[in-house]
Amino acid sequence: MDHSTALLTDRYELTMLQGALTAGTAHRRAIFEVFARQLPNGRRYGVVAGTGRLLEALESFRFGGPELEFLTSQGIVDEPSAAWLESYRFSGNIWGYAEGDCYFPGSPILVVEGSFAEAVILETLSLSILNHDCAIASAASRMVRAAADRPIIEMGSRRTHEMAGVAAARAAYIAGFRSTSNLEAGRTYGVPTAGTSAHAFTLLHDSERHAFQAQLNALGPGTTLLVDTYDVPRAVAVAVELAGPELGAVRIDSGDLKEMAREVREQLDGLGAPKTRIIVTGDLDEYSIAALAASPVNGYGVGTSLVTGSGAPTASLVYKLVARAQTDDGPLRPVAKHSVGKPSKGGRKWAVRHRDDNGRAIAEVVSTSEPTSGPYDRPLLTPLVVNGEIVAREPLSEARDHHEQALAELPPSAFQLSRGEVAIPTKFVNGS
Amino acid sequence: MDHSTALLTDRYELTMLQGALTAGTAHRRAIFEVFARQLPNGRRYGVVAGTGRLLEALESFRFGGPELEFLTSQGIVDEPSAAWLESYRFSGNIWGYAEGDCYFPGSPILVVEGSFAEAVILETLSLSILNHDCAIASAASRMVRAAADRPIIEMGSRRTHEMAGVAAARAAYIAGFRSTSNLEAGRTYGVPTAGTSAHAFTLLHDSERHAFQAQLNALGPGTTLLVDTYDVPRAVAVAVELAGPELGAVRIDSGDLKEMAREVREQLDGLGAPKTRIIVTGDLDEYSIAALAASPVNGYGVGTSLVTGSGAPTASLVYKLVARAQTDDGPLRPVAKHSVGKPSKGGRKWAVRHRDDNGRAIAEVVSTSEPTSGPYDRPLLTPLVVNGEIVAREPLSEARDHHEQALAELPPSAFQLSRGEVAIPTKFVNGS
């Protein structure tokens, strides 16, 4: 992002800054923590995504002339606050769960340490990115598990905000999707892109035969032909007649996909095209993907349900002050509000995934002092920013790997699609 | 948007382009239409939003060096297609419903006329923007009606993609929200901004009293103090003690809001602060707002449910080819696919809101020839782009006005919050 991200901020963060500067409390050391009180929708686990995007956005979080002009002309901040913002660079430390790792209720997936002033104004930027990307990755991971070894193409850009679509493609890729329809995600993040044609292409031409021939001429026989514009069996027959047994795939986007897949597979085999694959699309989610497990389907395209988090479009992550000093350099003391129904646990947190000797996860252990890890435990927080310097930049492929490894640790109950208990309990351990 | 928006596109649009260029069918005149097959969630009406953003994004839809380099190096398009994209400027016509107007199933809210090639590649950009913004505005409008004359602050940025938050603030404002917490929406779109402090500000200080005093010192007694960090009655007492009867407002973010509002109102009145307003926040949606109608609440803040479309995060709009010529300049002929369960009606459409002599809407009349309007009917499609030139740029305030006027026409049943029938039926009229 070349633009300043500084105004992707809720106004109250800047009024709090001004209040604290006025009161002389702005420079107290503080720790903010990002966590989810619970997982949405009875999910068994959540998936961390967005961290890489957040670190990029943090680099562009600068209050330049245009931003300050807006803030002062609108009376949103006074001159001393504007002066402070002008020289703002986050100079603190950030630790986080690795992108692709799993999280559970109370997991401190991001820990931000700095002065109150410099940390409080990162709330909205952090939550926007993490709430969106974690919601998408969490839904995507379930779809990938449901699809087992069959690839899934992400194709939801048309159903969400134009920039959210790009981020969704990235998050889905972390969680194991094979590719995306979104070209900007291909350019910006290197996610492999896919896609061939829509019904419009068939309708443009004088007949389905003309349309198929046009597509084969342009893209070769390995392409995917969309066969449900008029009559599926007729379309499949024409497709194989024109492309031969080398036809890459046919796509079915409507109807009873289970029944259709069976019939089309039979027809393709009968026509001597046993290698031609069947791709199904059309309002799929993890449940309908699971229902197609026994059907002769070779790949899925998922749109709406992916970009809307399959019923949970936001991850319910919050950004809370958990500790602060009472003087600028005093010791950090835990703090927590007492609001009804919204419990928070005060104090700086550490976290390990407690595992047995088979490497199987048993509990998420969150402690308020540095933990003494068991021999198989896996520490979860890694340094992302040290003294204002970003120290963790990893290719997306590593996040994909993290995710596979993190899933491999989870007990089988994690992969039930039904609503239920989280896969492992979170144990809070009080430190000294 | 300064950046090129050209890659906010699904790959299949460019493979269709290439196929049509190869086949010599790319320059056939074509009409694409954006419409919803149904409204989500048993809603009574939808609200058009995003048109202004789409027109801006259209201006930046240019394939420059970096975009073409990506597309050719990845083998996504061949050289002739790349050459065509390089000189791409949309040269056709676009008509649309006014931003802020209502829509119903089948309403042709956007009609795009051009060559197949130049119109087909606008699918994803158009749908991403309209599906998101219409979903938000449609949910927002119900909340505004539920709140009656009480103002609503939009504060959902933390719960959605960082750029979606900006667009959501804009869409909510069109639908009648009073303000937003999102500073970028203030800068980019002139939406009024609001916000004072979070629990973190109270927790930073040595006591709630210190925190309130700090905020009052910085922002004056007209500010809004957050009173539910520890104990609400104690906080309200301290707030009035420090600020006096001029205290602007108190905010309650947790607990039983109905009960709390009643108690706090009594307490404020008892303390001689009858003008101090009560703002409530905390997972509100149109239903909980409606449930507070009889409570002494002066304003609402809505976050999560707004930016997630209150259960319908996407508007289910589709972009379909409805007519095309069989030669480059031949007459337009209706087309429609026959896919099971996804009916489309072919042909270029016109639309009027049919009204009675009291100006009350009776039906959405969608016709495939220019309609002969009744005396009270209101034509719904206005020119947005003429021969590639954007002709409709209106301030956001006009979209806000459109929305109020469009709502005023609807029958009372439109404002029932329960799931049910759409407010007026859509009548399809076949032209000659």
Q: Are residues B293 and B320 in the same domain?
A: no
Assigned domain for B156 exists: no
Per the CB < 8 A criterion, the answer to whether B99 and B402 are in contact is: yes
Closest to A57 in 3D by CA, of B181, B161, B61, B191: B161
Angle at CA of residue A143, ends A141 and A145, nearest 5°: 70
What tokens appear for A336 in the block?
A: 């927590």
Per the CB < 8 A criterion, the answer to whether A120 and A17 are in contact is: yes
pLDDT on residue A90 = 98
A60-74, A107-121, B326-340: segment of lowest average pLDDT: B326-340
Predicted confidence band of residue A1 (pLDDT cuts 50, 70, 90): very low
Closest to A420 in 3D by CA, of A411, A428, A429: A411
HSE-CB for B89 with a 13 A CA cutoff: 9
pLDDT on residue B370 = 86
Instruction: Indicate whether A432 pLDDT > 80.
Output: no
Instruction: Indicate whether B327 pLDDT > 70.
Output: yes
Q: Are residues A261 and A354 in the same domain?
A: no
Q: Are residues A336 and A417 in the same domain?
A: yes
HSE-CB for B304 with a 13 A CA cutoff: 16
Per the CB < 8 A criterion, the answer to whether A241 and A208 are in contact is: no
- What residues have CB less than 8 Å from A235, skipping those under 6 apart? A208, A212, A225, A227, A228, A229, A250
**Interval A201-223: pLDDT, tens:** 999 999 999 999 999 999 999 99
Helix (H, G, I), strand (E, B) or coil at A80: helix
Closest to A257 in 3D by CA, of A224, A310, A294: A294
A-chain residues near B210 (CB < 8 A): 23
A367-376, B123-132, B377-386: segment of lowest average pLDDT: A367-376
What tokens appear for A248 in the block?
A: 């890459």
Using left for φ > 0, alpha for ψ between -120 and 50, and beta otherwise, residue B21 falls in alpha
Helix (H, G, I), strand (E, B) or coil at B420: coil
Q: Which of B18, B229, B321 comes nearest A200 by C-beta? A: B321
Spatial separation of the C-alpha atoms in residues B8 and A419, rounded to whole Å: 35
B-chain residues near A8 (CB < 8 A): 157, 162-163, 165-166, 182-184
Predicted confidence band of residue A279 (pLDDT cuts 50, 70, 90): very high
Q: Are residues A24 and A115 in the same domain?
A: yes
Cβ of B412: how many Cβ atoms within 10 Å? 8
Closest to B226 in 3D by CA, of B241, B218, B236, B213: B236
Percent of chain B with pLDDT over 90: 92
pLDDT on residue B431 = 62
Q: Are residues B236 and B320 in the same domain?
A: no
Closest to A366 in 3D by CA, of A105, A116, A59, A65: A105
Q: Are residues A299 and A180 in the same domain?
A: yes
Indicate which of B4, B77, B134, B158 best probes the interface with A, i.e. most A CBs within 10 Å of its own CB. B158
pLDDT on residue A263 = 98
**Averaged pLDDT for residues B333-362:** 87
Assigned domain for B95 exists: yes
- What residues have CB less than 8 Å from A83, skipping those under 6 apart? none
Q: Are residues A400 and A372 in the same domain?
A: yes
Residue of chain B whose alpha carbon sits nearest to that of A69: B187
Assigned domain for A6 exists: no
Instruction: Indicate whether B2 pLDDT > 70.
Output: no
CATH number of the CATH domain containing B205:
3.20.20.70
Contact A10 B230 (CB under 8 A): no
Predicted confidence band of residue B345 (pLDDT cuts 50, 70, 90): confident
Cβ of B5: how many Cβ atoms within 10 Å? 23
Q: Are residues B200 and B117 in the same domain?
A: no
Per the CB < 8 A criterion, the answer to whether B25 and A205 are in contact is: yes
Spatial separation of the C-alpha atoms in residues B354 and B363, rounded to whole Å: 5
Strand ranges in B7-71 using DSSP code E only, listed in sequence order: 29-36, 46-47
Q: Are residues A168 and A298 in the same domain?
A: yes
pLDDT on residue B167 = 98
pLDDT on residue A3 = 86
Q: Are residues B321 and B293 in the same domain?
A: no
Indicate which of B25, B58, B128 best probes the interface with A, i.e. most A CBs within 10 Å of its own CB. B128
Assigned domain for A155 exists: yes
Contact B162 A128 (CB under 8 A): yes
**Interval A149-203: pLDDT, tens:** 999 999 999 999 999 999 999 999 999 999 999 999 999 999 999 999 999 999 9
How, if at all, do strands B152-154 and B299-302 pair? parallel
Closest to B71 in 3D by CA, of B87, B59, B83, B61: B83
Which of A272, A287, A311 marks a domain boundary? A311
Contact A7 B184 (CB under 8 A): yes
> Measured in whole angstroms, how far is the alpha carbon of residue A138 from the centre of its chain?
7
pLDDT on residue A370 = 86
Per the CB < 8 A criterion, the answer to whether B426 and B102 are in contact is: no
Angle at CA of residue B218, ends B216 and B219, nearest 5°: 65
What single-letter DSSP state applies at residue B413? G
Assigned domain for A141 exists: no
Which of B269, B297, B325 marks a domain boundary? B297
Assigned domain for A5 exists: no
In degrees and rounded to multiples of 5, residue A428 shows phi and psi of -90, 125
Instruction: Indicate whether B4 pLDDT > 50.
Output: yes
Assigned domain for A346 exists: yes
A29 against A340, higher pLDDT: A29
pLDDT on residue B372 = 79
Per the CB < 8 A criterion, the answer to whether B361 and B410 are in contact is: yes
Containing A364, the helix (H) or strand (E) segment is strand A361-367
**Averaged pLDDT for residues A30-59:** 97
**Three-state secondary structure along B143-182?**
HHHHHCCCCEEECCHHHCCHHHHHHHHHHHHHCCCCEECE
Spatial separation of the C-alpha atoms in residues B112 and B119, rounded to whole Å: 7
Per the CB < 8 A criterion, the answer to whether A130 and A32 are in contact is: no
Contact A10 B214 (CB under 8 A): no
B-chain residues near A210 (CB < 8 A): 23, 25
Per the CB < 8 A criterion, the answer to whether A359 and A69 are in contact is: no
**Interval B270-309: pLDDT, tens:** 999 999 999 999 999 999 999 999 999 999 999 999 999 9
A-chain residues near B204 (CB < 8 A): 20, 25, 28, 30, 116, 321, 324, 335
Q: Which residue has the tokens 């026994």?
A: A294
Q: How far is CA A428 from CA A350, A363, A368, in A?
A: 10, 10, 8
Using left for φ > 0, alpha for ψ between -120 and 50, and beta otherwise, residue A271 falls in alpha
In degrees and rounded to multiples of 5, residue A74 shows phi and psi of -90, 0
Instruction: Indicate whether B43 pLDDT > 50.
Output: yes
Indicate which of A2, A4, A5, A10 best probes the interface with B, i.e. most B CBs within 10 Å of its own CB. A10
What are the strands of the beta sheet with A333-334, ordered from one edge? A333-334, A317-324, A29-36, A110-115, A93-97, A381-386, A389-390
Instruction: Indicate whether A343 pLDDT > 80.
Output: no
Assigned domain for A242 exists: yes
The count of CB pairs under 8 A between chains A and B is 353
Cβ of B241: how many Cβ atoms within 10 Å? 12
What single-letter DSSP state applies at residue A10? B
**Averaged pLDDT for residues B28-48:** 96
Which of A296, A311, A326 marks a domain boundary? A311
Contact B161 A197 (CB under 8 A): no
pLDDT on residue A345 = 84
What tokens appear for A293 in the block?
A: 């497990």
pLDDT on residue B426 = 96
CATH number of the CATH domain containing B77:
3.20.140.10
Distance from CA of A97 to the nearest CA of B (A): 19
Contact A339 B128 (CB under 8 A): no
Q: Are residues B19 and B102 in the same domain?
A: yes
Spatial separation of the C-alpha atoms in residues B130 and B133, rounded to whole Å: 5
Q: How far is CA A37 from CA A43, A343, B37, in A?
A: 13, 8, 37
Instruction: Indicate whether B321 pLDDT > 50.
Output: yes
| Helices vs strands, H then E, count in chain B | 15, 19
Q: How many folded domains does chain A comprise? A: 2
Spatial separation of the C-alpha atoms in residues B247 and A111, rounded to whole Å: 35
Predicted confidence band of residue B1 (pLDDT cuts 50, 70, 90): very low
> Measured in whole angstroms, how far is the alpha carbon of residue B391 from the centre of its chain?
21
A330 against B101, higher pLDDT: B101
Q: Which of B160, B206, B326 comes nearest A314 by C-beta? A: B160
Q: Which domain holds residue B421?
A: 11-136+316-429
How, if at all, do strands A350-355 and A378-379 pair? antiparallel
What string of DSSP letters covers A269-306? HHTT-TT-EEEE-SS--HHHHHHTTTS---EEEE-HHH
Q: Which residue has the tokens 């393709």?
A: A268
Spatial separation of the C-alpha atoms in residues B1 and B128, rounded to whole Å: 15
Burial string for B265-286 (b: 16+ CB within 10 Å, else e) reads: bebbeebebeebbbbbbbebbb
Q: Are residues A271 and A282 in the same domain?
A: yes
Helix (H, G, I), strand (E, B) or coil at A243: helix
Looking at every residue in chain A, the average pLDDT score rounds to 96
HSE-CB for A390 with a 13 A CA cutoff: 14
Looking at every residue in chain B, the average pLDDT score rounds to 96
